[in-house]
Amino acid sequence: MKRIVWSFFILTAAMALQAEDGHQLWLRYQPVNKAKVVTEASSPTISIAKQELETYYNGENVTLKLDATMPDDDGYRIEGSTISARRDAGLLYGAFALLRGQYGDSHPTFNLRLLNHWDNLDGSIERGYAGESIFEWFKLDEQLIRDYARANASIGINGSVLNNVNASPKILTTPYLKEVKKIADILRPYGIKVYLSINFASPMALGETKTADPLNKSVAKWWQKKAKEIYKLIPDFGGFLVKANSEGQPGPGDYNRTHADGANMLADALKPFNGIVMWRCFVYGANHKGEDRVKQAVSEFKPLDGLFRDNVILQTKNGPLDFQPREPYSPIFDQIKKTPNMVELQITQEYLGQSRHLVYLAPMWKEFFDYVSPSQLKGIAGVANIGKDRNWCGHHFSQANWYAFGRLAWNPDLSSNTIAEEWLELTFTNDKRFVDSMMRLMEMSREACVKYMMPLGLHHIFKFDHHYGPEPDGFIASYPLEWCPVYYHKANNDSIGFDRSHTGTNATSQYRKDIADMYDNIETCPEDLLLWFHRVPWTYKMKDGSTLWESLQFEYQLGVIMVETMQTTWHYKMRNFVDEQRWREVDERLADQLQNAREWRDVCLNYFGQFATKQ
């Protein structure tokens, strides 16, 4: 009897171990303990590479070789059973590539491949939809941080900004810095540097200076001393990310100083330690109040181009507004020529159904690279979608966006389909019947989202603050106009859309000539951005001869049909390929997504119909 109970216990324990709750991400290799790894080099990073291969590689022997003749980056070469790299991080990336079954030479396009966490010190996450922060101050779960580091290393991410850009000054106090050091020590062997978002007014807010004026000597001194303290604890600390004079955050503008004055003061403090400043261009409503919001970043930063220290990088969101499901690229990337640029993408789906909707973001990011060449960029940052939820991202398919971000940060030439295929095989199964269907489904998911949320270039018609559902009638007089949906669609009985052509705000003129001409002319403007750039009569004839109003109805309806296809495919055809828990959890979310898509269609068409049918 006793034996039966015991073996039952062992059996259920084993089943529990195998429970597919998504925590293993795309790293679900089974231990085979077969490979022997030979290497003359040694470092904590190489030990991890060795251990990964010895545990999971299904071949006999692997040699890891540091090769000083290779290009000075994080790349690697896999030839036969030898992985060579210039840096030990390259050997680790090579080890993960070999485990994925990839061979040959591979070098990262961007040297800076960073996650930006919008995690607050109290454990909450701004725009986080997967539970609380994994960075639990003063009670760190070291294993969780190690798992996080391993997942990042497996896709080549080499930096983490640990805290929200709306930053608490407290992060720079000694007790917190000691905790940051603990995290940095865990991430380091995985090739990941730690960075911090800082509050520009920190010295004053902490009561240590009377002002935060960047040209004040005591302020500059405070930052120099702080930099020294940080680097003593964390010698390879990456640097600061700064949101200044934006959405209520303090900045140099509070003292009539420029962004360059502010960034340079911080850059000087970090320079002796090789640290960098990533200064965000997401600004509106301050110096250029009243100007079309999408123009304000260029208006603010173009005159400063060339005035920044060489360790300052300007970090700009992919689009000029705010992470909408479809935006044209930000014209900053055409206008800032003398200062290095980084692009900020958003992995967390603030305006794309958060962790409730299956929306694969790689096609959207690829669209950005169709217009902005990676060679123009020094780095890439992704606002993370990671939290303490067991499956890390809230939705099993949101893991694909973390994965895709890392893979594109390494190689933006990869197709979104290739990345989806890789991820599906690693995360679920390599059964072609599943992978082929799901690749199609993932690829269409972003376009579906655009259609049911913002067809034909409509934008920012999201519910106030939480940005989840539709609110096309949104207008509250006490809020800034730029937060109100009606400001963006401007629907009336004649027309709809925002005129940003030369007859309107002339935002089109901020683009390089060929693109400016294309967007400015209603005939050549792509129809999927029509209402972003033009004010268009309801009776306007689209390229296929239908009216604008007919097309708008068609697009909303098509968005819903696409989600119906996604939901029915998963519900009726995918069940046999996926474990019960993950199948059910995705199924429930797809049912919600379908309901939400219908709500978007109905609310928006009812609202716009009031105007459109008054012709």
- Residues 413 and 331: beta-carbon distance below 8 Å: no
Catalytic residue of the set 79, 105, 229, 247: 247
Least gap, CB of 283 to ligand GCV (angstroms) = 9
Q: Is 105 marked active-site?
A: no
With beta carbons less than 8 A apart as the criterion, state whether 35 and 53 touch. yes
Q: In angstroms, what CA-CA distances link 309 with 243, 262, 282, 379, 400?
A: 17, 11, 19, 17, 37
Single out the residue of 322, 334, 482, 528 in contact with ligand GCV (rule: CB under 6 A).
322
CB neighbourhood size of 606 (10 A): 11
- Alpha helices (H) along 18-134: 44-56, 88-99
- Known catalytic residue: 327? no
Residue in 62, 165, 384, 458 binding ligand GCV, rule: CB under 6 A: 165
* List of E strands, 354-486: 377-383
Least distance (Å) between residue 465 CB and ligand GCV: 8
In the list 55, 82, 124, 166, the residue contacting ligand GCV (rule: CB under 6 A) is 166
CB of 282 to ligand GCV, least distance (A): 5
Q: Give the nearer residue to ligand GCV in terms of CB position, either 293 or 407.
A: 293
C-beta closer to ligand GCV: residue 115 or 530: 115
200 binds ligand GCV (CB under 6 A): no
Size of the site for ligand GCV (CB under 6 A): 9
- 484 binds ligand GCV per the rule CB under 6 A: no
Separation CA 560–CA 556 (nearest Å): 7
The C-alpha atoms of residue 582 and residue 5 are separated, in whole angstroms, by 29
Query: What is the Cα–Cα distance from 261 to 267, expressed in whole angstroms?
Result: 10
Sheet with 61-66, edge to edge strand ranges: 36-39, 61-66, 82-85, 76-79, 104-106
Q: Are 206 and 173 in contact (CB under 8 A)?
A: yes
Tokens for 316? 């700009």
127 binds ligand GCV (CB under 6 A): yes
| Length in residues, the chain | 615
Angle at CA of residue 242, ends 238 and 244, nearest 5°: 165
Q: Binding to ligand GCV by residue 506, rule CB under 6 A?
A: no
Per-residue interface string for the shown chain with ligand GCV, residues 271-300, x marking contact by CB under 6 A: -----------x------------------
**In the complex, minimum distance from the CB of residue 133 to ligand GCV, in angstroms, rounded to a whole number:** 14
564 in catalytic set: no
- Please identify, using beta-carbon distances, which residue of 344 and 422 lies nearer to ligand GCV: 344
CB 328 within 8 A of CB 456: no
Q: Looking only at residues 230 through 259 of this chain, which bind ligand GCV when binding is defined by CB under 6 A?
A: 243, 247
* Cβ closest to ligand GCV, residue 118 vs residue 583: 118
Q: Which of 52, 74, 350, 528 is catalytic?
A: 350
Percent helix, percent strand, percent coil in the chain, to nearest 5: 45, 10, 40
**Mask 99-118, x = binds ligand GCV (CB under 6 A)?**
-------------------x
Residue number, 118 or 135, with CB nearest to ligand GCV? 118
Q: Is residue 459 near ligand GCV by the rule CB under 6 A?
A: no
Q: Which of 211, 188, 281, 279 is nearest to 239 (CA)?
A: 279
**471 is an interface residue for ligand GCV by CB under 6 A:** no
Q: Classify residue 456 by its DSSP letter.
A: G
Angle at 490 (CA atoms; ends 533, 461), nearest 5 degrees: 85
Q: From 183, 391, 194, select the one nearest 275 (Cα to Cα).
A: 194
112: amino acid identity, one letter: L
| 57 vs 118 by CB, closer to ligand GCV | 118
Binding to ligand GCV by residue 126, rule CB under 6 A? Answer: yes
Residue 587 near ligand GCV by CB under 6 A = no
Contact between 457 and 531 under an 8 Å Cβ cutoff? The reply is yes
Closest to ligand GCV by CB, 322 vs 528, is 322
Q: How far is the CB of 244 from ligand GCV (least distance, A)?
A: 11
Q: What is the DSSP string of 131-191?
A: SS-S--TTS--HHHHHHHHHHHHHTT--EEE-S-SS--GGGGSHHHHHHHHHHHHHHGGGT
96 binds ligand GCV (CB under 6 A): no
Active-site entry in 292, 322, 344, 585: 322
Reading the block at residue 271, the tokens are 């320079």
The span from the first CA to the last CA of the chain, in angstroms, equals: 82
Is the distance from CB of 87 to CB of 75 less than 8 angstroms?
A: no
Point out the residues that are catalytic: 247, 322, 350
Residues in contact with ligand GCV by the rule CB under 6 A: 118, 126-127, 165-166, 243, 247, 282, 322
